[in-house]
Amino acid sequence: MTEQIDVTTQTKREVFSTQDGRGKLICTVSLPSFEGHNKINSFYSQIADACMEYCRGELFRRYASEKEQGSLWEIRYRLAVSAQMSETNANVSLAVTLSDTLARKTLAKHYETHLWSLEYDKMLPSKKHKK
């Protein structure tokens, strides 16, 4: 039997606004942090950093250019990563949601799950890819 691993959640939030303050992109990332498992933590930290960079750059520029100048808009991008632990594995779920807050409309969703061996700090192959 393996020892219990402490998992905490860290949340980062950044708000990007147009110069006139009428347009806003809110980017929120929530990640688990596994005590003593730097490889797993680093993997999800890199994903979170890439998501923040995407929000800061391409996504914000796209919505700022698509919306009519001076119009009021608010877009939310959320990456929520959560983990369920077993004795030897971590089942990590990622959920990405992009929504238009003012229109109360979901624009895009993406879900995926990763299975990690805690003993080896290695992601295990997905069952759907096995023959």
* pTM, two decimal places: 0.88
> What is the spatial distance between Cα 86 and Cα 84, in angstroms, rounded to a whole number?
7
Return the residue matching tokens 């005590």: 35
Half-sphere exposure of residue 56: CA atoms within 13 angstroms, side-chain side: 9
DSSP helix/strand/coil, 3: coil
- pLDDT at site 84: 92
- pLDDT at site 122: 95
User: In this predicted model, what pLDDT tens digit does every residue of 29-87 receive, in sequence order?
Assistant: 999 999 989 999 999 999 999 999 999 999 999 999 988 877 899 999 999 999 998 88
DSSP secondary structure letter of residue 68: P
> What is the spatial distance between Cα 76 and Cα 93, in angstroms, rounded to a whole number?
20
> What is the spatial distance between Cα 89 and Cα 121, in angstroms, rounded to a whole number?
9
In the predicted model, is pLDDT for residue 14 greater than 90? yes
